[in-house]
Structure formats: structure tokens, C-alpha cells
Structure 1
């Protein structure tokens, strides 16, 4: 079940602008968090029962865990923001607006979109404003 979240036009503009790199960052962080670098050595006999030094290694491990937790929080934030845009994409029904939205989500600049479509940069800006108005209606 999705919850309708009211976003300002300014927030939507930022999400559209950042969408492309957030998707890349989601992939990168997810890959980082799913890999493990544990290189422990099994111990046997009396050494296995002896207390281990917690000094530098313990602090380094604690710092890495804290860093991963922060990455995980950032990952969740990016996923939520990307999903907010993805849930609103079907609201855009005009074909030219769909193309411009797709180009924006792919990370193309307004100038690149204008060259791609053969229209002026101002026309692309106007279409982007219409898209943001449409996405903000939810």
C-alpha cells in the first residue's frame, strides 16, 4: 500500500534532477553492503578459549559497522525518493512530456534534450514545468 506524500514543486524538481545519480548510488551501496570482507582465522585448542585483544581491531570494526549503518540509512532514503518518482510516472500522459521525463530520468541535460528532440531549450524547460505540475497533483 502506497501512502500519498505531498511534495512541493521545488522538491519534485530536485528529485527529477537527482534521480539518475541516486539510482546509480543505490546500486553501488547495495553492492557494497552485500559483500563481506571477513578474513578471520579459526583457532583451536587453548587459544580459542583465551580472551582476545579488543583495542585497535575492535574500534576499527565498530567504526566500520557504524559506517555501514549510515550507508544503509542513506540507501533507504534514496530508494524512497526514487520510488516517489516512479509511483508518479503514470500520471504523465502527454507523449512529448513522457519523452522529456524519460530523458530527465536518464540524466540528460536540458540542452541535450532540446538537441535530441529538435526543440528549443526554453520549450524543454516549459515541458519540464508541466511535468512537475502533473507530478505535484498527487
Structure 2
């Protein structure tokens, strides 16, 4: 992953996590939405050419397309989670967590008593460290677990 991609994932991390949670929850709910075919006069009307008229099938296609996006979000989120262990500095770790929670640089700076530009420098340092982790490194010492700083 290059630095620009990591910066973008850090910006988008919060809403991607929320989208993943919402989509998983909606898939677990059994049939909350009821989709029915047309009955009566509407059922005898001509259907548009080139598309399927089955609303259930169309809904499945829509959800499948959405699920593929959610899988992309999960890969990006996991990539960041697998690399968190490289952030050892307390300030960097704090800034990283606030960024992942969706806070702005100004909010973080105000909270930590640092300037906006200092927060951006810390973010740049975080991105540099996350970008320098070799691909295929999951967690620490060859395990698939991410080490969290306590």
C-alpha cells in the first residue's frame, strides 16, 4: 500500500466500519423487507425489455453488488488493523485512534493541546510507518493477531 492509499483509508475508516456493521446487521435480520410481485392489472402489463421483472431477483443483485463493496471495505479496514502494532509512540497511537474514530485534525489538536499542523505532522509519521510495513505481515511475530498498546 502506498502513502496516499493509507491516508485515504484513515480518512474513510470510521464510515467504512459503520457500513460494515450496518450491512452485517441487515443480512442477519430475516425478511424485514417484503418484496412482492405485482398482482392484478399491473401483472398483465408489458415488462421492459432487457431487464428482469422479478423484484426479488433484482433485490438480490443490488445486495450482491453492495456486499462486494463491503468486502472491499473489510479488506481495507483489516489492513490498517493488522498494521497498528507498528505505532509505538504514545502521541502517535492516540492520534491514530482519534483518526480511526472519525475525529478531525482540529478536534484532535484541541483535545491534545497541539496545533493543527502538529497533528498533521504526527499523522504523516503514522502514515509513513504504516506504509513501510511489508505486505503479508499480519500482527506481530508471524501471528495473525494485532498487538494493542495498553
Q: Residues 107 and 39 of structure 1: is their aligned pair in 2 closer, same or farther, counting only changes over 3 Å? A: closer
Count the aligned residue pairs: 119
CA distance in 1, matches of 2:28, 2:13: 22
Structure of higher RCO (CA pairs closer than 8 Å, 6+ residues apart) = 1
In structure 2, runs of 5+ residues without a counterpart are 36-43, 134-150
Trace 1:48-87 onto structure 2 (pairs within 5 A): 59-87=54-82
Shift of the alpha carbon at 1:113? 0.3
Identify the match of residue 27 of structure 2 among 15, 28, 33. Answer: 33
**TM-score, normalised relative to structure 2:** 0.74
Bigger CA radius of gyration = 1
SS of corresponding position for 1:93? coil
**TM-score, normalised relative to structure 1:** 0.80
Match of 2:18 in 1: 24
Shift of the alpha carbon at 1:32? 1.4
Contact 1:30 1:75 (8 Å CA) reproduced: no
